[in-house]
């Protein structure tokens, strides 16, 4: 999309839009502000969260940093709990290799239950694989379920009691 990006105070925070032509399809891509969480502590997080929750997208591609995957997995899990059609894009594979970081993308895909694609942003071949995965994901006819994160018993019981209270009062 040839967007100018930056991550510093005062930088305009907004969604960028672009059209991707692939095979005989046109896909509208919306680039949300970068964030590590959907917990609304900043304008970036609020914009990203609101679009993911209410933007009615067909799929969500979560771009994570291969050199610091653990920092991004919180965001991945938050998005998996909100929307069923997620693709995880592990970017900066070249930098991870330089740092001797080895990632098993197939295992990550198996654990998360969604497609995981490795990319190097300036290598068109890897980006083509990402677009192909997005296209395939959009064509899948089967209904997908939102990822169900299992929390410890205290949290699960608390959430369950709140859920029960809400439905008891609305009946």
Is pLDDT at 164 greater than 50 in this prediction? yes
The two tokens of residue 20 are 């991707």
- What is the rounded (10 degree) CA torsion for 34, 38, 41, 47? 60
Using one digit for the tens of pLDDT, what is the confidence trace for 69-103? 999 999 999 999 888 889 999 999 999 999 999 99
Using one digit for the tens of pLDDT, what is the confidence trace for 36-47? 888 878 888 888
β-bridge partners, 117: 89
CATH architecture entry for 16-170 = 3-Layer(aba) Sandwich (3.40)
pTM: 0.80
Rounded distance between C-alpha atoms, residue 171 and residue 32, angstroms? 38
Q: Please answer whether residues 117 and 87 qualify as being in contact, where contact means their C-beta atoms are separated by less than 8 angstroms.
A: yes
- In which element (H, E) is residue 63 found? strand 60-65
What average pLDDT is seen over the chain? Answer: 85
What is the pLDDT at residue 82?
85
What is the pLDDT at residue 8?
45
């Amino acid at each position: 999309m040839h967007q100018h990006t930056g991550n510093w105070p005062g930088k305009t925070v907004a969604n960028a839009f672009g059209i991707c032509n692939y095979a005989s399809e046109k896909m509208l891509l919306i680039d949300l502000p970068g964030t590590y969480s959907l917990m609304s502590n900043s304008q970036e997080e609020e914009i990203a969260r609101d679009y993911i929750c209410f933007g009615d997208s067909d799929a969500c591609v979560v771009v994570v940093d291969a050199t610091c995957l653990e920092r991004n997995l919180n965001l991945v899990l938050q998005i998996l709990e909100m929307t069923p059609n997620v693709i995880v894009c592990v970017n900066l594979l070249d930098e991870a290799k330089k740092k001797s970081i080895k990632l098993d993308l197939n295992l990550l895909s198996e654990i998360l239950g969604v497609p995981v694609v490795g990319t190097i942003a300036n290598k068109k071949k890897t980006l083509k694989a990402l677009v192909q995965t997005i296209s395939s994901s959009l064509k899948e006819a089967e209904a997908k379920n939102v990822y169900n994160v299992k929390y410890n018993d205290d949290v699960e019981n608390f959430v369950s009691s709140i859920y029960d209270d809400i439905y008891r009062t609305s009946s």
